[in-house]
Amino acid sequence: MGIVVGDLGVAVVIEDDDDVRNLLDAVLQQAGFEVHSAATGRDGVDVARHRQANVITLDVGLPDIDGFEVLRRIRQFSDAYVVMLTGRNEELDTISALQGGADDYIVKPFRPRELRARISAMMRRPRQGVVGEVVAEPSEQMAAAVNARRGKVLQHNGLALDTETRTVALRGTPLGLTRSEFDLLQELLKGTGAVRTRADLVRVVRGEYYGEDTYISEADERAVEVHIGNLRRKLHEDPQDPRWLVTVRGVGYRLAPTKAE
Ligand code: CA
């Protein structure tokens, strides 16, 4: 069966370099997206808004406002998947953009295959809202209750993670987590105290794209540390006495022991 353009929804390319923009446009069209593009940050925000983007590729270095500011503006109205495109010298800044609501980033120059793989890994996973406050709908709460009965909910020290609805609640209050934060928390809860190395967790964040033998950079591991830091903040972890996320120095992380309430 052939691919119908627009099957996967709308992709918006925000990139000032003509060659890179044309390449991204072609790759995303071939993948099955309806593609719109913009060469400046401000135009990009407008196009993302008017075309109701599902996926956005966002260059960090743009002529007017930079990619981080574009991301901040887009996140006020859109929960599109956002992949940041960054130069090698901007990589560390881009990792901090994961805190601002980017889903992933790719260092230029990139292979079209790598971009396609990253985007399809992102889109295979349902997503929680990242716009504003996340509040569970009554139907979600009902689904959560049903799943609890079916053993689809991982619980630990007052935290409940529903693997089916991909929602997390702390003593009944819903937490708004990004996809990566959810996946990492799920992995550690499933491990019931087994140590997960930072490399293991990079593979969790990246989805199936990274196999056992794939090179994992320090920046990849640093990105995992940033996600874990975000999780700790959202969970209000006490660093002296964590209830969920324990650092295993020089190795990775594991789940804290069960505590008496
Ligand atoms: Ca640029």
CATH number of 32's domain: 3.40.50.2300
Could you tell me the distance, in angstroms and rounded to a whole number, from the CA of residue 24 to the centre of ligand 1?
Answer: 13
pLDDT tens string 198-224: 988 988 888 755 556 677 888 888 889
Of 40-54, 82-96, 113-127, 156-170, give the range with the top mean pLDDT. 40-54
CA-CA distance, 144 to 174, in Å (whole number)? 11
Do residues 205 and 161 both lie within one domain?
yes
Q: How far is the CA of 98 from the centre of ligand 1 (A)?
A: 19
Residues of the chain above pLDDT 90, percent? 36
- pLDDT higher for 40 or 141? 40
- Domain span holding position 56: 10-124
Domain closes at, from 91, 124, 157: 124
Lookup: tokens for 115: 């971009």
Q: Is the dihedral of CA 250, 253, 258, 260 positive or negative?
A: positive
- Non-local (6+) Cβ contacts of 201 within 8 A are 184, 187, 224, 228, 252, 253
Q: What is the mean pLDDT of residues 62-69?
A: 93
38 in a domain, yes or no? yes
Strands (DSSP E) along the chain, which ranges?
A: 10-14, 34-38, 55-59, 81-86, 104-107, 153-156, 159-162, 167-170, 173-175, 196-197, 245-248, 252-255
Residues 148 and 248 in one domain: yes
Q: What is the pLDDT of residues 136-195, one digit of tens each?
A: 343 454 455 555 555 678 888 989 898 888 889 888 888 888 888 999 999 999 887 888
Give distance in angstroms: CA of 34 to centre of ligand 1: 22
Edge-to-edge strand ranges of the sheet holding 10-14: 34-38, 10-14, 55-59, 81-86, 104-107
Instruction: State pTM to two decimals.
Output: 0.53
Within this chain, do residues 75 and 113 fall inside the same structural domain, yes or no?
Answer: yes
Residues 6+ away with beta carbon under 8 Å from 88: 107, 108
* Whether 183 and 116 share a structural domain: no
132 within some domain: no
CATH number at residue 204: 1.10.10.10
Per-residue confidence (pLDDT) for residue 60, from 0 to 100: 92
Asked if residue 171 and residue 64 are part of one domain, the reply reads: no
Q: Are residues 183 and 243 both part of a single domain?
A: yes
Distance from the CA of 181 to the center of ligand 1, in angstroms? Answer: 28
For residue 18, report the distance from its CA to the centre of ligand 1, in Å. 9
d(C-alpha 155, C-alpha 21), whole Å: 45
Same domain, 115 and 223: no
- pLDDT mean over 227-239: 92
250 CA distance to ligand 1 middle (Å): 36
Residues 90 and 151 in one domain: no
- Summary mean pLDDT of the chain: 82
Please indicate, yes or no, if residue 261 is contained in any of the structural domains.
Answer: no
pLDDT at 133: 36
Same domain, residue pair 114 and 175: no
Asked whether residue 22 falls in the same domain as residue 113, the answer is yes
